[in-house]
Amino acid sequence: MRRSAPAPQLAKAGLEVLGEGVADELPSYEQAFKAVVNVEVAPRATVARSAPGASAEADRLWLEHARTAAVIDDEGCFLIRGAGRDWVRVRRTAHTALSAALVPGAGSMVIAMSPDGRRLCALTEEDDDYWIVVHRFEDRP
């Protein structure tokens, strides 16, 4: 099992960092990144960043899609990138807002992966929109 600290911008996202129970055989962050950032990716949902309440709506849609895709387990836990691009186990709290971890104007993203490494749901900043991207790793057992 690996242990890793959360990336600095995730402190703003209102997640409880558990940091334990992360298996070594998970897809790497680079694999997850490539699944989210490629020309074939189509978002499941978009929100215009200029719309009133855009970040709150992006957070709501991310949560809806992450739950539907079974990225978040029954205890509200999922994996997220920690320091050094290792996965860290986190739990949602009443204050969780993934959009707070995005660096405005930087084309940034937050990738959440299911604890078993089979699915991910990302919140990304693409041009003038927030994108919600869902991916399933087909080669995972």
In a domain, 57, yes or no: yes
Query: Is 121 a domain residue?
Result: yes
Report which DSSP code applies to 51.
Answer: S
The parent domain of residue 101 ranges over: 8-35+43-136
> Does residue 141 sit within a domain?
no
CB atoms within 10 A of CB 42: 8
Q: Given CA atoms 113, 114, 119, 122 in this order, what sign does their dihedral have?
A: negative
Which tokens hold the place of 40? 């074939």
3-state secondary structure of 140: coil
- Each residue of 63-112: pLDDT tens digit? 999 999 999 999 999 999 876 667 889 999 999 999 998 887 777 899 99
What pLDDT was estimated at residue 7?
A: 59
Question: Which strands sit side by side in the sheet containing 45-48, from one edge to the other?
Answer: 16-17, 87-91, 77-81, 109-113, 119-126, 129-136, 45-48
Residue 120 within a domain: yes
Domain contains 30 = yes
Mean predicted lDDT score pLDDT of the chain: 87
Domain for residue 31, yes or no? yes
- Report the percentage of the chain scoring pLDDT > 70: 86
For residue 21, what pLDDT is reported?
Answer: 59
Whether 1 is covered by a domain: the verdict is: no
Confirm whether 23 is domain-assigned. yes
Number of domains in the chain: 1
Q: What is the pLDDT of residue 123?
A: 96
